[in-house]
Copies of this chain bind each other. A is one copy, B any other.
Amino acid sequence: MFKENNLSKNQQIIFDLINKSSEPLKAYTILFNVQKKGIKAPPQVYRALDKLVETGKIHKIESKNAFVACRNSNCEISKATAFSICESCEMVDEISDAKLTKYLSSFNDKKGTKYKRFNLEFFGLCKKCK
């Protein structure tokens, strides 16, 4: 028997929901929306979210406690993430900018420390809200 993909049942349900959403989804919004599919309790949601974040299928927008599907094949399992966040309409876009990624991935602080991972959140007004 072949596996069609690497996601479990709950992970797939929750990924599908996030992936088709045009905006970041919060854990309890997700819970509410998947209850008809048999996912009834917070730990089921948080466990799936943890795994999806870990494998880079989704990202957490830390400033919003919300989750978006990865739209950037280049973010290397969430080691280099950057987002554009509208302060008016809540819209979030993942930024795919090779130069930016390269600049930050190779950043050394004054002590010469290199980092394994970064997360960058830009705030402003999106095109629509400007």
Binding site for B on A (CB under 8 A): 62-63, 84, 87, 93, 95, 97, 100, 103-104, 107, 109-111, 113-127
When all copies of this chain in the complex are counted, the total is 2
A126 to B122, CA, bound (A): 25
Provide the bound-state CA to CA distance between A100 and B116, in Å.
17
Q: Once the chains bind, are B124 and A115 in contact (CB under 8 Å)?
A: yes
Q: What are 20 residue pairs bridging A and B, where the CB atoms are less than 8 Å apart in the complex?
A: A62-B62, A63-B119, A84-B115, A87-B116, A95-B109, A100-B107, A109-B122, A113-B124, A113-B127, A115-B122, A115-B123, A115-B124, A116-B124, A117-B123, A117-B124, A118-B122, A119-B120, A119-B121, A119-B123, A120-B120
